A = this chain, B = another copy of it.
Amino acid sequence: MDPRPVRIALVEDDKELRELLRAGIERADTLRLVRTFADGEDFLAAFPSLDVDVVLMDINLPGKNGIDCIREAKPMKDNVQFMVLTVFENPAYIFQALSAGATGYLVKNEEPEALHAAIHEIRAGGSPMSSAIARMVVASFQTEVQTKIHDHKLTEREKGILDQLATGLMYKEIAAKSEISTETVRKHVRNIYEKLQVGSRMEAIRLVYPKGL
């Protein structure tokens, strides 16, 4: 659709893979590989004067890792899209990368055609993810209100109280909304803490929303 080819930068320290990817990209006339980097520092130094649409970024780089590179580079040019290209399916990396500003995340064993499609998709406003990655991202939403409150053998009342507790409401606010006394709220909270084996609001929340980083 767009007659102009997508301008691409590639940051990948492994020479063999870099050349492989380069060859694949240069074979497509809808893509244009502007420049490659073997090192995060080099990339960051060159990025301000680099005119590209999409950056393909490895995570495990010498010097500065790919996630930190994205975190620093993304705010400079918000319309440049960063696609992580890595062998790691570690959830921690995925969430860190997305938080840092990546909009796509592919595992490296994708077919060249899939990579090309993903590049066009990210350019067009999508967020291409390898299927296992997408599933993990989706799963992070599900452990959110699913396992947590709905498990742990809390009573319905207790789940409701915990929910409000996690929202940051004070006992007196919870009491008002639930139309019970604050003393009762305190009692419920104590029972919740006992069942969850925690001793403070924050600990309970962290059990319920294991989000942190």
Contacts and interface: CB of A to CB of B under 8 A. Distances in A.
Contact of A203 (B137, B146, B168): B168
A206 interface: yes
How many identical chains are in the complex? 2
A134 B131 contact: no
A48 interface: no
Interface in A128-169: 128-129, 131-132, 134-135, 137-138, 141-142, 144-146, 150, 166-168
Interface residues of A, number: 40
A137 B135 contact: no
A91 to B, nearest CB: 12
Tell me what chain A mostly uses at the interface: helix, strand, loop, or mixed.
helix
A103 B138 CA distance: 6
A129 B211 CA distance: 21
Contacts of A200: 168
A196 to B, nearest CB: 13
A138 B127 contact: yes
Nearest to A209: B211
A168 B125 contact: no
Contacts of A137: 127, 137-138, 141
A127 B121 contact: no
Interface of A: 71, 95, 98-103, 121, 124-129, 131-132, 134-135, 137-138, 141-142, 144-146, 150, 166-168, 200-203, 205-206, 209, 211-213
